[in-house]
Structure 1
């Protein structure tokens, strides 16, 4: 028959054994990878530069849950300034910058070499040139004020491209004004603050309805420009290969959705562009990588741009893997 002292010692030994086992479990758990422990992976934060039609595949991938389908969490963030978006990319606040072609190349030229473009939603200039009704052709812009969203951006390039083709010198023949965003271009024309400017889809429909004169449709110009390229840190792309391939697969399915489910795509387009006019939305829907032009633009202020091989700025391994997997054929068969 055991004594009370024996029972007490037995309880202490059992408690000590339990504590030892718990300690061992804590140590073992500390060596298990975070993902195996069920730790949530932070969403990819992806910025887009403007609420325009070229961003529709991103919006559809989010709203139609293609990102979720492919197991990648994505937060879309509207950042209207390329310089702010690039700074956020450097600081780790963003993982991807959509429309990062111009800002990315400018940063690359400044020595930030861990940057790469890994895809693009558009390789043409989705802009129109509009002017006051009294201006009947490009020559009428000489000596006038010409609006762009931001200096050094895609719209700025589109404006200079148009003026050069019209035998005007962008540096001498017009006065450029920075209006801030595409949504500000129409009010600037209405106020008479500018005589001409570049507008994107669907703003072109609005200014046309207001009676302004279309001088050029740059979507038909044949110019190739990486106007909506995806920019990220090269090492990030390497370290997150699986997630980024899933990101691209979601976009591929999104584009297929846009082409085959018109009404649903129009609904998403309306929500993000805040456009409710059915005619404008249909025109926008129907509108639906070359780096050489971007480098030439940068060379106007930094001659070293022409010394760069565009291939240095491209990381195509992700898309090559997606294509080799047969995924594109599977979606579009």
Structure 2
């Protein structure tokens, strides 16, 4: 197995017959299905802990730019509160379609796939998912790392303590 790069690159390689398959996520899964590919494994449905996307930064950056990082996380949490609200389904699907360059139908597939994940009010990285990423990493140096050495949710804890998360969900 080799790394395929971006989702669009993986799809292009699959469509060209360069590779037989790839690791993809919605809405690319809908594009693959439309092109005749069959889903072999769905880690989310199997309950396999994984981290598909996370906000990351260097510890040195955080030490020097904590306030900027807090602003980014505030915006991320506000977007999270928006997308997890069923009344915002159409707006969320429109954003998915726009930023992933997918059709409205493909965006709807992505929305349905991610909606259960968005139901946690506070998006936290599951250390078990990080452990799986470490475990399957190609670099031997990465396999020496631990989730605890990579995760820092102090910014998130600060925003919870400040009442910001509660504010987002107050009616």
Q: TM-score, length-normalised on structure 2? A: 0.77
Q: Which has the larger radius of gyration?
A: 1
Contact 2:134 2:142 in 1 (8 A): no
Moved over 6 A (4+): none
Question: Tell me, which stretches of 5 or more residues in structure 2 are unaligned?
Answer: 115-125
Please tell me whether residue 302 in structure 1 is matched to residue 118 in structure 2. no
How much has 1:183 moved relative to structure 2?
1.1
Matches within 5 A, 1:96-245: 176-245=1-70
Contact 2:10–2:22 (Cα < 8 Å) also in 1: yes
**Greater strand proportion:** 1
How much does 1:303 deviate? 6.2
1:304 Cα deviation from its structure 2 partner: 7.2
Inter-partner Cα distance in structure 2 for 1:295 and 1:281: 30
Task: Report the number of matched residues.
Answer: 155
- 1:273 corresponding residue in structure 2: 100
Unmatched tracts of structure 1, length 5 or more:
1-175
CA positional deviation for 1:202:
1.0
Instruction: Tell me the C-alpha RMSD between the 2 structures.
Output: 2.2
Query: Aligned equivalents of 1:317 and 1:304: distance in 2?
Result: 23
**1:161-205 Cα distance to aligned partner (Å, 9 max, x none):** xxxxxxxxxxxxxxx355442213333333332223222211111
Shift in Å at residue 301 of structure 1?
4.2
Structure 1 equivalent of residue 152 of structure 2: 315
Relative to its length, the structure with more helix (as a share) is: 2
Judging changes above 3 Å, is the alpha-carbon distance between structure 1 residues 216 and 309 closer, same or farther for their aligned structure 2 residues? closer
- TM-score normalised by L of structure 1: 0.42
Cα drift, residue 253 of structure 1 = 0.8
Q: Once the 2 structures are TM-superposed, how far is the Cα of residue 238 of structure 1 from its aligned partner?
A: 2.5
Cα distance in 1, alignment partners of residues 146 and 9 from structure 2: 36
CA deviation profile, 1:227-266 (whole Å, cap 9, x unmatched):
3222222232123222222211111110111123122222
Say yes or no: does 1:330 pair with 2:167.
Answer: yes
Partner residue of 1:262?
89
The equivalent of 1:284 in structure 2 is 110
